[in-house]
Amino acid sequence: MMTPVTSRFIARLRANDQAAWFELWETFGPVVSAQLTKWGKGRIGAQTVQDLSQDTLAALSDSIDRFDPARGVRFSTWLLSIAKHCLGDELDRRGALKRGGAVKPEEFHDDRISNSGAAEPDELYERAMFGAKIEAAIRLAERECDFADFAVFSMRVLEGKSGKDVAAALGTSEPTVTRRLARVRDVLRAKLREVIEIYSFTEDERNEAINAGVSLDASSKAEQDSAFDDAVGEIFRLHLERRRNDADD
C-alpha cells in the first residue's frame, strides 16, 4: 500500500505542483529516456525521446492513484509499462500517417501491466532505477549539508579516495575527515529513506536498499557505516558510467 509520504507526493503531482514534477523528472527522466532510446533505436530521434519521456511521466501522474499495490507490481515496472505504451502510440501514429490515415492515442489502462504485452524490466533497468534513487538522495543531501562537509563526502565516497588522501588534499586531519563524513552520511541516510518511501509501493521496493548493501539504520555501527559508504559509492559510480554509455550509444 502507499505510504503517507507517497500519497502526499502523488497529491502534489495531481495538483500540478511544478516542484513535484521537476523532482520526478530529475530523478527518473534520464532512466526513461535511456530505455526509450534503447527500444526505439533507429526509429525515433532525440527530440521524440524527450517528448515521450515527458508523456510517460504525465501518464504516470494521471494513472498512479488507481494503482493497486496488492498486485505486487513495482514502481519501476509500472513506469516501464507506461513508457512502452507511449512509444507504441507514437509508432502507431507514424504508421497511420504513412498510410495516409490517423490513429487516436489509446488510453493507458492498469490491466496492461498484467497482460503478456506488458514491459518486463531487466536487471540493468532495475539497477538504473535504484541508482536514480541514490543519485536523488545525494542531491538532496548536498543541498542540506555544509559545503566543506559534502566536499569530504564527495571525495571519500563518490570518488572512492582514501581518508588519508582526502585529508592530504584538503590540508586537514583524518579525524576531521571522519567527522565531516559522518555528518553527511547521517543526512544522506535520512534522504535515502525519504526517496525510497516516496517511490515504493511494495515490500520488495522498500527493502531494495538493504538488499543492495545500503544500511539505512541511523544507529549503525562503524562497520555498517563503512559498508554503507562503499555500497553508495559503487552504485553511484556505476550509475554514472551507465549514463555515459547510454549517451554514447
Q: Of the residues 88, 106, 121, which one is the last residue of a structural domain? A: 121
Task: Kindly state the cell numbers that stand for 3.
Answer: 505510504
- Give 68's pLDDT tier (boundaries 50, 70, 90): low
Instruction: Name which residue leads in pLDDT, 202 or 84.
Output: 84
- Give 204's pLDDT tier (boundaries 50, 70, 90): confident
Q: pLDDT tens digits for 99-132?
A: 665 555 555 555 555 444 455 678 888 899 999 9
CATH number of the domain within which 40 lies: 1.10.1740
Q: What is the DSSP letter of 104?
A: P
Amino acid, single-letter form, for residue 148: A
Range of the structural domain that residue 142 is part of: 124-248
Task: Tell me how far the alpha carbon of residue 55 is from its chain's centroid.
Answer: 17
Q: Does one domain contain both 128 and 117?
A: no
Amino acid, single-letter form, for residue 109: H
Q: Note the pLDDT of residue 231.
A: 95
- Give 70's pLDDT tier (boundaries 50, 70, 90): low
Strand, helix or coil for residue 29 = helix
Q: Note the pLDDT of residue 168.
A: 97
Q: Does one domain contain both 145 and 239?
A: yes
Q: pLDDT tens digits for 4-53?
A: 888 788 788 878 888 988 888 899 989 999 989 888 887 888 889 989 98
In total, how many domains does the chain have?
Answer: 2
Residue 82: CB atoms within 10 Å: 24
Q: Does one domain contain both 144 and 96?
A: no
Average pLDDT, the chain: 85
Q: Does one domain contain both 129 and 231?
A: yes
Q: Does one domain contain both 146 and 113?
A: no
Residue carrying C-alpha cell 547510454: 246
Q: Are 3 and 212 in contact (CB under 8 A)?
A: no
Q: Of the residues 96, 121, 146, which one is the last residue of a structural domain? A: 121
The pTM score is: 0.84
